[in-house]
Homo-oligomer: A and B are copies of this chain.
Amino acid sequence: MGKQMTEMLKGTLEGIVLAILSRRPAYGYEITTRLREMGLTDIVEGTVYALLIRIEQRGLADVERHPSEKGPPRKVYSLNAQGQAYLEEFWQTWSLLTAQLKQLHEGEE
């Protein structure tokens, strides 16, 4: 992946994953797949798992183990109230930043 994208993802990837979880519960492998489908093709599996563990430890999501037809059991994450609040805060911060960048970009020439 481009280095620029890598750096930009710091701080946003977390929000992206939380947003995915806010729609419906999901597990790591599934999330990785979905990220790839939506164009974030080069996100590494290990990154997602590490992120999910962080999310769990901060109490933003609850975890349940579900047996899988294939391979080891899945760890299904579902966003809880605290996670929802955190996500809303994320969207606020994000819209602030985009507004500022938009202003910069438009006034460019």
Q: Which A residues are within 8 Å of any B CB, using their own CB?
A: 2, 4-12, 14-16, 19-20, 22-23, 38-40, 89-91, 93-94, 96-98, 100-101, 103-105, 107-108
Contact = CB atoms under 8 A, between A and B. Distances in A.
Q: Is the interface of A mostly helix, strand, loop or mixed?
A: helix
Number of this chain's copies in the complex = 2
15 contacts: A2-B93, A4-B11, A4-B15, A4-B89, A4-B93, A5-B96, A7-B11, A8-B93, A10-B10, A12-B101, A19-B105, A19-B108, A23-B107, A38-B104, A98-B98
Contact of A104 (B5, B16, B107): B16
Max chain B C-beta neighbours (<10 A), residue from A11, A23, A108: A11
A103 B38 contact: yes
A91 B105 contact: yes
Nearest to A12: B8
Contacts of A39: 96, 100
Ranked nearest first, the 7 interchain pairs of A and B with the lowest CB-CB distance are A7-B11, A8-B11, A10-B10, A4-B93, A19-B104, A5-B93, A8-B97
